[in-house]
Amino acid sequence: MFGLDDRILHLSNGGSALVVLLVATLLGLRHATDPDHIAAVTTLVASGRERAARRAAELGVFWGLGHALTLIVFGLPIVLFEQFLPEALERSAETAVAGVIVFLGVRLLIRWRSGYFHEHAHAHPRHEHDHRHPVRTRAGAFGIGLVHGIGGSAGVAVLLLAAVPSRAVAVGALLVLALFTAVSMAMLTGGFGRMLVQPRVRAAFGFVAPSLAVGSLAFGCWYAAAVWSLAPYPF
Direct distance between the N- and C-terminal alpha carbons of the chain, in angstroms, rounded to an integer: 5
Query: Is residue 235 situated within a structural domain?
Result: no
Between helix 138-150 and helix 53-81 the angle, nearest 10°, is 30
Query: Is residue 65 situated within a structural domain?
Result: yes
Could you tell me the pTM of the whole model?
0.75
Q: In this predicted model, what pLDDT tens digit does every residue of 26-76 receive, in sequence order?
A: 888 887 778 887 888 788 777 765 556 677 888 888 988 998 998 898 889
**How many domains are contained in the chain?**
1
Q: Residue 31 in contact with residue 157, Cβ under 8 Å?
A: yes
Query: Is residue 79 situated within a structural domain?
Result: yes
Please give the helix or strand (H or E) that residue 167 lies within, else none: helix 167-196
Q: Is pLDDT above 70 for 9?
A: no
**178 vs 173: CA distance, rounded Å:** 9
Q: Residue 190 in contact with residue 53, Cβ under 8 Å?
A: yes
Total Cβ atoms within 10 A of residue 144: 25
Confidence of residue 22 (pLDDT cuts 50, 70, 90): confident
Query: Is residue 125 situated within a structural domain?
Result: yes
CA distances from 163 to 56, 140, 160, 177, 178 (A): 36, 34, 6, 15, 17
Query: Is residue 35 situated within a structural domain?
Result: yes
Q: Output b/e per residue, 7-24; b: 16+ Cβ within 10 A.
A: ebbeebeeeeeeebbbbb
Structural domain that includes position 184:
4-227
Query: Is residue 232 situated within a structural domain?
Result: no
Report the range out of 100-104, 151-155, 189-193 with the highest average pLDDT. 100-104
Q: In this predicted model, what pLDDT tens digit does every residue of 110-150 receive, in sequence order?
A: 888 887 766 544 444 444 444 445 556 888 889 888 888 87
The average confidence (pLDDT) of the chain is 78
Query: Is residue 234 situated within a structural domain?
Result: no
Query: Is residue 13 situated within a structural domain?
Result: yes
